[in-house]
Amino acid sequence: MTISAPAWLSGRRGNQALPSRVLDSIRVQQERSEILVSAVQLLITLFFFGLYHAAPMAEGRLQDIYLFAEVELTDGILGIYAILTVLRLALALRHMLRDWMLYASTLLDMVLLMAVIWSFHLTYGQPPGFYLKIPTFAFVFMFIALRALRFEARFVVFAGVMAVLGWFVLVAFASGVSEAWDYGVGRPPGCEVHPCRTHNFIQYMRTDFLLYGAEVERMAAIAVVTLILALAISRARRLLIRAATEQIAARDLSRFLDPEVAERIRRSEMVIAPGEGELRDAAILTTDLRGFTQLSMAMEPDAVMRLLQEYQGRVCPAILSAGGSIDKFLGDGILSSFGAARPGATYAADALRAADAVLASVAAWNAEREAAGQPPVRVGLAIASGRVIFGAVGDGDRLEYTVIGDAVNLAAKLEKHTKAEGVRALVDAATYDLAVSQGYAAPASGERRAHRAVGGVAAPLDLVILAA
């Protein structure tokens, strides 16, 4: 029978059901965490190296312990740790750290820390029970906490288990060292029979006697802190997975929404509900790919979609760069607004600038198509302005932000009317004059056509031709 770790401990619950791009996002976060862990470890090493040499030495040292020739034990351990930490950081930056390396790194942390703690009784010529009372023990919790930065409970638990085992070994050594051990200063009074154990707390605190209950308490504290951190990390990992999933979903959904609308939804303090709208002074720009129906009938489906994609890829950036918002795609038609999703004082001028940019982009596209031996495409567009309603419509489960109003209807009718006028782009004169007053640089070629009958519009309109 195979025994596996609990899902909360392994951190892999539900991973198999997650899309690969979500797993990739989590992996990227973990790799960044390992870079952070390595950087923190290096800073800690440098800090303690400087502190060790800058601070006055504690009195009572009887001898220096050397790791090897001319290298004092603490310096040697800090040096080795710094070198290995730099190597670890280099591997983290290259995204080459593997799980076994992380386990080995955690084990090394605890081994080196316990070695430093163990060396204190030699440095000060005291019985081994001496090192069980030094404050360096507190660094155990720092090394355990470092593993929490990765959002995987298994590494926290491993660090905690290694810390408990390491301290157990130190306690066992202090308890079971042979009577032949030379302490340099003799045995403490009352400790003629080894090991030096006591049940008196005052004696424990004032001497090097061992109080097993106190050491069990230390190990229990390590275990409890480890468990709490592991549970917290398990919950944090679930939140990380949810956040990564929702971030990717939001990024994907934002491709179906205008950026301004997506930002509005993100910042909304209340649930978006249908039937709620706001009045806006806005300009509406509609564009249409002429002859698309006939083209699509003579083309393969993939070719039709590629043509649409290329057309929209040319038109949409021009609209967005001028401050417009894409309201919707209507087959080969594009409905966009200015001043609705994001209110502004130059909405009409922005719409006409967008129209100029669209026409220039289509002209460049046709030049490329001609060079490639492809027929040119024709695009018609029209602009109207006025008071519109901007809000969400739908049945509650399926919503859409849109603009509604006479300006929207007029823009659609004017776009159809471009065919009757035999032009590519036009705007009603009122919108054109408003755009000029808002800073639009009117071209000298702008032709006015007065009292034009537009289908579906009761009264004749004065029009301005933007492109013949």
Q: What is the mean pLDDT of residues 184-212?
A: 66
Q: Give tens-digit pLDDT for 139-173.
A: 899 899 988 888 888 999 999 999 999 999 998 88
Q: Where residue 263 falls among pLDDT bands split at 50, 70, 90?
A: low
Domains of the chain, by residue range, sit at 7-254, 274-467
Q: Where residue 213 falls among pLDDT bands split at 50, 70, 90?
A: confident
User: Which own/partner contact pairs does 115-122 have at CB distance under 8 Å and 24+ positions apart?
Assistant: 115/73, 115/77, 116/73, 116/74, 116/77, 117/170, 118/170, 118/173, 119/65, 119/73, 119/74, 122/63, 122/65
Q: Is the pLDDT of residue 332 over 80?
A: yes
- CATH class in words for 274-467: alpha beta
Do the beta carbons of residue 461 and residue 417 sit within 8 Å? no
Pick the residue with more confidence: 65 or 28? Answer: 28
0.75 surpassed by pTM = no
Range list of β-strands (E), 204-354: 277-289, 325-330, 333-338
Q: Where residue 230 falls among pLDDT bands split at 50, 70, 90?
A: very high
What is the overall mean pLDDT for the chain?
81
Q: Give tens-digit pLDDT for 6-47.
A: 554 555 544 556 677 777 777 787 888 888 888 888 888 888
How far apart (Å, rounded) are the C-alpha atoms in residues 456 and 459? Answer: 9
Q: Is the pLDDT of residue 310 over 70?
A: yes
Residue with tokens 């023990």: 137
Pick the residue with more confidence: 129 or 348? Answer: 348
Q: Is the pLDDT of residue 2 over 50?
A: no
Residue with tokens 């303690």: 48
pLDDT on residue 337: 93
